[in-house]
Amino acid sequence: MTPAMPAPRSAQIEDFLVAGQEAAEEERWVAAGLAWIEAAKLGSLEGANATSRVATPRIKPLANAGDPDAQALMAGILMDYYTEDALPIAVG
């Protein structure tokens, strides 16, 4: 028997999770959030949780301070991870 090779999708998820963790360690929260979102898009619950529980609380102050990248990311997170009633907040 040959050893099972990890699926390409799994390898991609792991790459995004690691990239997100590295960015978080450097306090580059927008980059961390973007990497974790990509992992989540591929089906990673860990990526989704890291986005909503770790990155979002740190991105929100950046967005409130006027960082356009953080603002765009927060709008996307609100639209993807929260209920429809988040739309006015996302637009704001």
CA distance 83 to 13: 25
Tokens describing residue 46: 């860990």
CA distance 74 to 59: 7
pLDDT at 9: 75
Strand, coil or helix: 60: helix
Express the helix, strand and coil content of the chain in percent, nearest 5 each. 80, 0, 20
Domain-wise residue ranges, the chain: 9-91
CA separation, residue 20 to residues 2, 72, 86 (Å): 32, 18, 25
Tokens describing residue 11: 């390898």
What tens digit of pLDDT does each residue of 5-62 get?
Answer: 556 679 999 999 999 999 999 999 999 999 999 999 999 999 999 998 999 999 999 9
pLDDT at 25: 98
